[in-house]
Structure 1
Amino acid sequence: MDHLKRLYESVKEEALNDYLKFLSFPSISSDLNHVADVKACCTWLSEWLYRKGFDVEVWETEGHPAIFATCLKAGEEKPTLLLYGHYDVQPVDPLEEWDSPPFTPTLNGETIVARGAQDNKGQCFYTVSALAALLKENGSLPINIKLLVEGEEEIGSPSLPAWLEKKKKALQADYVAVVDVGMKDAKTPAVTLGARGILTMDIHVRGTEGDLHSGSHGGLAYNPIHALIQILDAARDKKSGKILIPGFYDDIRPLTPSERSQVDLSAREEAPGGEKEFPPAERVGLRPTFEVNGISGGYTGFGFKTVIPAKASAKASCRLVPDQDPQKVGAAVKAFLEAKAPEGVTVKVDLHPGTGKAVRAHADSKIAQAFKQAYRELFDVEPAFLLEGGSIPITTKLAEASGGEPVFVGLGLADDRIHAPNERFSLDRFRNGFLSIARTLEILNGQAS
């Protein structure tokens, strides 16, 4: 590991300066006002990779572009690793809660504060920095590398599946590593063996054509906000936390005894939400959820407006676990909610594209064991195997298209404030990420420490 630490120090200044430049692009994929910014970020990174010696393609999808870069100089006898990350970021609202401009990276002690500092520009850039440094030093990499960096992860990767099918031959790999998750805690790295799937929806409730006077119609008209609350409330048992939608729990694949013995299910403190019959870590890693993400309706502006609103709406999402089909679960949720419409209102559920199935990898796979060994050498502790509660929707399709054994890795922490104001990532973890990627490539090549 000492030779890799020396390598990092030799490129540190340039790598960190380029990281800050990468963070300066407001590449918010969900906002049409930032289409040009997303494109500019893609162009900058693709040109950076080309200058570092990679063969680079920019896939002009129907949405935001994706970058596919390769370095296959190790030879056919060496294994191939496909690394995945994304350059798009979440919106910055509420802007007033940021301590510094979100796209002006700010050094706060030994921590970088910016949107994307961790998710996923920080983890993406320590990955490509490690690859570039090894390539420059040796003229090749220890193994063959394919790199996919997309611009639509934060909106469910709607445009990428068609390109994965189109580029299936080029994507072939022995292993797939999604560098977009976190550690068990600040001292304990982790290899994540699974992530939940996802489906999202809009729920619309309408009463009358227009808002009504709450004096003239109060007590007569059915308020759509009341109806929405009633409908959502019907989906969950208040006491147990169990989801009451018929078919919601169908097809769930439990952990085998062997898997259960390998996965750390102690990494969560007691919490009030979810299904009470399951411990917290299982609620996050092994159980599906139905969550309301936002509600709107009526008048919420300055002052007061005494109306019965004509409509109300909510955004909701389901996190899914292995063997659950997003389309099947979505159909069950839609049928249940629409059937709960009380007299006087209509309910319409619009299911979104960009769903993703859950993924579960094997603890004894070569790629999982390689990252575990690299983390063990770097941190001098035994790494954990975890199951991730979040979702990276494209992962299943990526594994299927490439034929590679998947695994999730990364050095994020729960208090990095991803998706929130003042997102951050420490310089120490940027360094350790660089070292872990470089060392894993060596291990997969059979090199000793």
Structure 2
Amino acid sequence: MRATLPAVSDLKEWYRLHQREILEDYFTFLKFPSLSTDPAYKLSVRETALWLKEFLQKCGLCAELWETTGHPVVFASLLHAGPDRPTLLFYAHYDVQPVDPIGEWHSDPFDPVLKEGKVYARGASDNKGQCFYTLCAIRAYLELMKESAVNIKVFIEGEEEIGSLGTAGILASKEKELKSDYLFLLDFGISNAHSPAVMMGMRGLLSLEVTVQNSAIDLHSGVHGGMALNPNHALLSALSKMWTESGRIAIPGFFDDVALPAQEELDRYDLSFDPVSYKNKFGIKACIPTPGASLLESNWFYPSLDVNGMYGGYCGEGFKTVIPAKARAKISCRLVPHQDPHKIAEALTAFLKNHLSENLHVEIKILQQHASYRAAWDTNVVKISKEAYEEVFSKECRYLLCGATVPLVPKLAFYSGGEAALIGVALDSDDMHAPNEHFDLERFEKGFLVIGRILISCSSFS
């Protein structure tokens, strides 16, 4: 007969007793500059993984590093409950975004600062904060239970911010280790600090870089102006044709496979959204939703196409009169269910080449291709997550979608074979990917309690 299970109140008391230690370890985690995109930080990324491995071992799990062609995965497990008990797999990532523009930070992005209940640092929210409250909840559960009634697995990758290419490459070989009944993906959030929600899906991602070249070197704009075609002009002209005047994406075939949700599914989502509040929160002056759709519907149910960066010629202080040899643009698409990233990549590539002079040298490099994902409704994992949120927040849990992309989600769900829940307590206003990223400790504790409650709930299964 199993011992009496702890309650959420026991988790709260454990958190209170360990609060100082939790904060110290959280700060240590944040101090690692684990920038996965910059080769100069490769050693720092690995040091972060090694610190996590040691922390998980202190929590009582068997931990190891899984090497990839990029940065390592930290994998840990505790399987003492036996094959007849539920197996829970928790996903997070330890890599972070670059800190540019560094001049807009109010403090060192890798020297955490606690101010008015919020921790400011790169990764404070995305995703070290959510990762770390999960690990703390696992530790609390194990200490309160004395003997785990569930099998626990933890998968923390170091490549989420760069597309998870190396990480995805090892999943097939690790299928046995990844097998689980329930998969909890801790890289998602809620719409506001007081309204719990389970994310039921996310959009996919296609990203590419286009380079247009017309000369061997930059040219003097006086000597060559009016004669040599300017690559900036050519690229801008082609990019501008990707949308109609009303803002609809004009790539042939782009919407062919888009299927809007049935009304029955729409009725299950919380579609409440205040456009004025949204614009005020982020200082947005103008919006351009998909024609015929609201802003929220545009983000959840329709694909999008964006130019994320452009450069060519001289962009520094002052002025330099040149016709650049090359012009470049970085482009991304967020994709919805049934859209094939490879098919969209082919359509976009053909469109750009068709609208650029055949006399120019055009190179298009595909960077990332990730499918969208929808979780199944009416599963145990969604029910468990919903009940945990509602007990911790004392409010009804809602169902949302995410317009962003966590690249590994579809593949990890496939190889684990478990029911998947996209959860977390992050907010859009945490300034993820921007200067002064932050995470408030009240939500950190609530996230801790939600994960603890999930573990307790699964322990009660007969």
Give TM-score scaled by structure 1 length.
Answer: 0.96
Alignment of 1:69-148 (within 5 A): 69-148=76-155
Alignment of 1:360-439 (within 5 A): 360-439=374-453
Give the aligned partner of residue 155 of structure 1: 162
> What amino acid is the match of 1:256?
A
- Asked if residue 357 in structure 1 is aligned to residue 371 in structure 2, the reply is yes
User: Does 4-13 or 166-175 show the bigger shift?
Assistant: 4-13
Give the Cα separation in 1 of the matches to 2:221 and 2:128.
Answer: 50
Q: Is the 8 A contact 1:207 1:311 kept in 2?
A: yes
Q: Is the 8 A contact 2:65 2:74 kept in 1?
A: yes
Give the Cα separation in 1 of the matches to 2:232 and 2:67.
Answer: 42
Distance 1:280 1:135, change over 3 A: same
Q: Which runs of 5+ in 1 are unaligned?
A: none
Give the Cα separation in 1 of the matches to 2:236 and 2:161.
Answer: 28
Deviation at 1:50, TM superposition (A): 0.9
> What amino acid is the match of 1:98?
W
Kindly tell me the number of residue pairs found equivalent between the two proteins: 446
User: Does 37-46 or 160-169 show the bigger shift?
Assistant: 160-169
Q: Is the 8 A contact 1:268 1:281 kept in 2?
A: no
From 302, 311, 314, the equivalent of 1:287 is: 302
Give the aligned partner of residue 280 of structure 2: none
- Asked if residue 314 in structure 1 is aligned to residue 322 in structure 2, the reply is no
The C-alpha deviation readout for 1:36-56, integer Å capped at 9, x for no partner, is: 000000000001101211011
- Asked if residue 213 in structure 1 is aligned to residue 213 in structure 2, the reply is no
The C-alpha deviation readout for 1:263-293, integer Å capped at 9, x for no partner, is: 1222352662231211111111111111110
- Asked if residue 258 in structure 1 is aligned to residue 258 in structure 2, the reply is no
> What amino acid is the match of 1:362?
A
Give the Cα separation in 1 of the matches to 2:206 and 2:27.
Answer: 33
Give the Cα separation in 2 of the matches to 1:381 and 1:440.
Answer: 16
Distance 1:75 1:253, change over 3 A: farther
Deviation at 1:169, TM superposition (A): 1.0
Give the Cα separation in 2 of the matches to 1:324 and 1:346.
Answer: 30
Q: Is the 8 A contact 2:93 2:158 kept in 1?
A: yes
From 225, 237, 240, the equivalent of 1:233 is: 240
Deviation at 1:136, TM superposition (A): 2.0
Deviation at 1:109, TM superposition (A): 1.4
> What amino acid is the match of 2:427?
L
- Asked if residue 45 in structure 1 is aligned to residue 52 in structure 2, the reply is yes
Give the Cα separation in 2 of the matches to 1:145 and 1:259.
Answer: 32
Q: Is the 8 A contact 1:115 1:422 kept in 2?
A: yes
The C-alpha deviation readout for 1:40-91, integer Å capped at 9, x for no partner, is: 0000000110121101121011110101111222232222121100000000
SS of alignment partner, residue 53 of structure 1: coil
Distance 1:242 1:25, change over 3 A: same
From 170, 183, 186, the equivalent of 1:176 is: 183
Deviation at 1:400, TM superposition (A): 0.7
Give the Cα separation in 2 of the matches to 1:289 and 1:145.
Answer: 37
- Asked if residue 167 in structure 1 is aligned to residue 182 in structure 2, the reply is no
The C-alpha deviation readout for 1:247-275, integer Å capped at 9, x for no partner, is: 21122233133221111222352662231
Identity over aligned residues, as a percent?
Answer: 45
Deviation at 1:345, TM superposition (A): 2.6
Deviation at 1:329, TM superposition (A): 1.0
Give TM-score scaled by structure 2 length.
Answer: 0.93
Q: Is the 8 A contact 2:11 2:140 kept in 1?
A: no
The C-alpha deviation readout for 1:103-150, integer Å capped at 9, x for no partner, is: 000011111000000000000000000001111222333422211000
Give the Cα separation in 1 of the matches to 2:213 and 2:147.
Answer: 61
